[in-house]
Structure 1
Amino acid sequence: MRWLAALMALSVVPFLPLLGRADSVGDAANLVGLGGALALWWQVVLGTRALTGRLTADRLAVVNLHRWLGGCGAFLVLLHPLLETIAARRDLAYLWLVDFTWVESGYTSLGRIALLLFLALWLTSTLLRALVRHRAWRLVHYVSYPLVGLVLLHAWGVGSYLIETPWLRAYWLLLAGLLALLVGWRLAVPLWTGRYRLVAAERLSPTVVQYTLAPLGRPRRPRRPAPGQFCYLRLNALGRAHPFSVTRVGDDATLSFAVKDAGPFTARLSALRPGAVLRLDGPYGTFTRQARDADRPAVLVAGGIGVTPFVELVRRHAGPHMSLHHVVSTREEAVFADELRHHLGPRYRTGPPQPGPRARYFVCGSPGFVATTTGRLRARGVAGGQLHTEEFDC
């Protein structure tokens, strides 16, 4: 995470000399616009797991930083056109007027189109998130790439600081070039992800199947996920990737995933026969890393299939400091119950946890389960620093 923080701080340095030159509303609008563009640029970078996974192993910290930048970017992106409207002494219609009849108005219109795309992205990620299915949210999220491209073009054409400052213009070209390389890399990532063969499919319950995959050939560096990490599976190189927690890492480099039947992807996955080839990307995440430490009680809280990140963790690191609360509505949902009870004994329970002053809580399940569980723990005095969460979304 240090490397990532250092790069982000370094990216701000070229803008610092401009702070002493802002002595009007128009100048302030330019500075705010440049800041908003940089925040959006970093949001796209942080959203590219293939890149951030090489910079830091702490995926949760990257996701939280991505969300925080979304708030900062939203403030700056929305403030910029309002300041420009004030500086130009125009009414609010100036925010939406699209006009490509001449060069300057065309560059300005690119910014207005970017604003509309940003509003769609921001609304579906905040106010409307609970009403939008994950698939729809994901599709809307892809507009972030053309959005940032439009913002870079808009600033290039009408940003007074860029026009007047050659070295800043060169830096802007560098950001645009890096964005183009990033988009190309992201499109190419599925082509070099690991190829794995399905060797077994074992039904653990009426709704859950455990799939075991073996690498094709002899990989130079076999994937060895740590307990609690997850990988992205694709049925083919161009298919959509879905994240699943690793439930077993075999000595022969095989990986197992317990998958609940939910949606068209899992239906296609269940139709595969041994020998079928899948693509695998990862591992990612450090959700349960601190649960391995025996210095403080680790309370694992799982909602249904949310138990999967804890299975390998319990196998390797179960001790007196660790307990697991598996909240299920039916006995069929309690997959791995016998094995987990064998390792944990009476510390495997099916009810909600009782808060403790020093315990760390690791909560995994659906977004609703995670929100409800963490809300109850916070209401009973558990501090935010004691909570670690991971959500499953379909």
Structure 2
Amino acid sequence: MPLSSTSRIAHGLVWSLALVPLIFFIAGLSAGDFASTATILNMLGRLTGVLGVAFLLLSAALSARVPGVDQPFGGLTKLWHTHHRMGAASLFLLMLHPLLLAFSAAGYSQQAAISTLFPAFSNTAAWMGWTALILMMIFLAPSFAFFGPPQYERWKHIHALAGPAVIFALIHTFMASRTMPGMADTVIWSIFALLAVGAVSWRLLFSQRIGRLDYTVKHVEPVTDGVVELTLEPQDKPLEYEAGNFVYLTPFDKHLDAGDREEHPYTLSSSPLEPNLRIAIKSLGDASRAIQSIDPGTKVTVEGPYGRFFPAGGRVESPELWVAGGIGITPFLARMRHIQALQSGGDIVMIYAVQDESRALYADEIRELALQIPGFVLVMHYFYHEGPVSAEFLHRHCPDLGHREIYICGPLPLNELIKQHAHHAGVTHNHIHSEEFELL
């Protein structure tokens, strides 16, 4: 089954699972729930609570980051798009939940409405719900564009509040929820709780113990100013991966100015056939800047692999167009190294877009690999000379653009521009593949 079809099915199944509690909720409704404005508002309040908790628990389950689970979804980035959407939907619904219940109570008395929004201290179930909602507002707020791009480590620490939020939400749900027939409440929420708590437990406890592989920094090779390539040697079991995958790298070096024992995602630049891992790292933040001077012999761990940029196997089965920009050359370099190691080839046009000649990372190796790979065409694009990549430039160097699989990795403006040109050329969404690293 094509990746795009598999991905749509996987994402669709997750959203469908979130609607299971809704089905049981509807089955438990009666005529009394529609008898007056107050009862309708009460029903809607309970409904938003049910859907909000379902989205929250499934969003937590999708955060587990178990290697391999992201593959049917088209990679971890695309899986986390669904995670983010479910988290946002959960927050919106759970903010409506107490408001609708309060409006319903207002139909009986003003005091009842106030008591709903400001419950007595003895109302444990209500305060569990309010605590969960407040924690959600704190840890989800930095994820919204309104607050600007968050700093990675600060965002990660704040996001740790997701665990307590899930626990408080579950306590509130088990104590207050009586909206489904029979034992459906207990059964449904127990299953969802197992998924969420299992995911959080993996992320916070077990992944650090059994999900990471030990490596040692063997070489640190400067590529250009602000970019190094680390060569990592396995200490035990080596990582199995595909070209285009990325890993979470954690260095253990107290002499680093920043980033010691902090995990950060980096794309692998090595071929899967190499005995060691290679990772190209550009100085973009405190941790990546500090790691430029990491010492050979330093212990590191890697967790992964994640992502699904290229088809598995490494061989090129259909005509492809690659568009790389800046450090986005890394997954393409890994695939070029893999194809060359396989002594394979394919109908590939690669456009490498950089500001000027001095910004072209691995330029000499890429030109050499392009000559060694049968059917490979390398086109350099320099912004200072050509301006942004135009539709005319694409069609001039790749006339059959509309009949190729398109792979894009670079700065977001470049990604969006190439997608726009491709869509205008008649390329459907299923044939455009892009790698966009967000907060992972």
TM bucket (normalised to shorter chain) is: 0.7 to 0.9
Asked whether the equivalents of residues 225 and 246 of structure 1 are also in contact (C-alpha less than 8 Å), the reply is: no
Q: 1:96 to 1:102 in 2, by over 3 A?
A: closer
Asked whether the equivalents of residues 198 and 212 of structure 1 are also in contact (C-alpha less than 8 Å), the reply is: yes
Q: 1:258 to 1:274 in 2, by over 3 A?
A: same
Asked if 1:45 corresponds to 2:67, the answer is: no
Q: How does 1:156-235 map to 2 (within 5 A)?
A: 156-161=174-179, 165-188=182-205, 189-192=207-210, 193-217=212-236, 219=237, 222-235=238-251
Q: 1:291 to 1:82 in 2, by over 3 A?
A: farther
1:74-119 deviation line (CA, Å, top 9, x unaligned): 453344333323322278x95994545222xx42233233333334
Asked if 1:347 corresponds to 2:374, the answer is: no
% identical equivalent positions = 23
1:19-52 deviation line (CA, Å, top 9, x unaligned): 1322422233223312221111111111221266
Q: Distance in 1 between matches of 2:158 and 2:412?
A: 19
Pick aligned residue for 1:334 from 360, 377, 381: 360
2:219 partner amino acid:
A
Partner of 1:133: 151
Q: Secondary structure at the match of 1:160?
A: coil
Partner of 1:86: 103
Asked if 1:27 corresponds to 2:43, the answer is: yes
1:161-187 deviation line (CA, Å, top 9, x unaligned): 27x744422442454355334323222
Bigger drift between 224-233 and 183-192 goes to 183-192
Q: 1:128 to 1:382 in 2, by over 3 A?
A: farther
Q: Secondary structure at the match of 2:300?
A: strand
TM-score w.r.t. the length of structure 2 is 0.76
1:213 partner amino acid:
L
1:304-359 deviation line (CA, Å, top 9, x unaligned): 11100111212334745212222212433211222222333582222236262222
Pick aligned residue for 1:116 from 127, 134, 158: 134
Asked if 1:361 corresponds to 2:397, the answer is: no
Partner of 1:242: 264
Q: 1:135 to 1:372 in 2, by over 3 A?
A: farther
TM-score w.r.t. the length of structure 1 is 0.84
Q: Secondary structure at the match of 1:224?
A: coil
Pick aligned residue for 2:83 from 57, 66, 82: 66
What do you get for the CA RMSD once the two structures are aligned?
3.5
Q: 1:38 to 1:247 in 2, by over 3 A?
A: same
Asked whether the equivalents of residues 228 and 286 of structure 1 are also in contact (C-alpha less than 8 Å), the reply is: yes
The CA deviation at 1:235 is 1.1
Bigger drift between 172-181 and 143-152 goes to 172-181
Q: Distance in 1 between matches of 2:430 and 2:72?
A: 20
Q: Distance in 2 between matches of 1:132 and 1:274?
A: 31
Q: 1:280 to 1:274 in 2, by over 3 A?
A: same
Q: Secondary structure at the match of 1:248?
A: coil
Q: 1:34 to 1:202 in 2, by over 3 A?
A: same
| Structure 1 unaligned regions, length at least 5 | none
Q: 1:126 to 1:96 in 2, by over 3 A?
A: farther
Q: Distance in 2 between matches of 1:39 and 1:53?
A: 19
Asked whether the equivalents of residues 291 and 360 of structure 1 are also in contact (C-alpha less than 8 Å), the reply is: no
Q: Distance in 2 between matches of 1:39 and 1:55?
A: 21
Partner of 2:121: 101
Asked if 1:273 corresponds to 2:295, the answer is: yes
Q: Distance in 1 between matches of 2:29 and 2:59?
A: 26
2:177 partner amino acid:
G
The CA deviation at 1:302 is 1.5
2:394 partner amino acid:
Q
Q: Secondary structure at the match of 1:128?
A: helix
Partner of 2:351: 325
In terms of Rg, which structure is larger?
A: 2
Q: 1:373 to 1:10 in 2, by over 3 A?
A: closer
The CA deviation at 1:55 is 7.5
Q: Distance in 1 between matches of 2:14 and 2:426?
A: 37
Bigger drift between 276-285 and 80-89 goes to 80-89
Pick aligned residue for 2:310 from 279, 288, 308: 288
Asked whether the equivalents of residues 30 and 160 of structure 1 are also in contact (C-alpha less than 8 Å), the reply is: no
Q: Distance in 2 between matches of 1:129 and 1:290?
A: 38
Q: Distance in 2 between matches of 1:390 and 1:129?
A: 24
- Number of residue equivalences: 388
Asked whether the equivalents of residues 121 and 140 of structure 1 are also in contact (C-alpha less than 8 Å), the reply is: yes
Q: Distance in 2 between matches of 1:72 and 1:118?
A: 12
Q: 1:392 to 1:68 in 2, by over 3 A?
A: closer
1:144 partner amino acid:
A
Bigger drift between 330-339 and 63-72 goes to 63-72
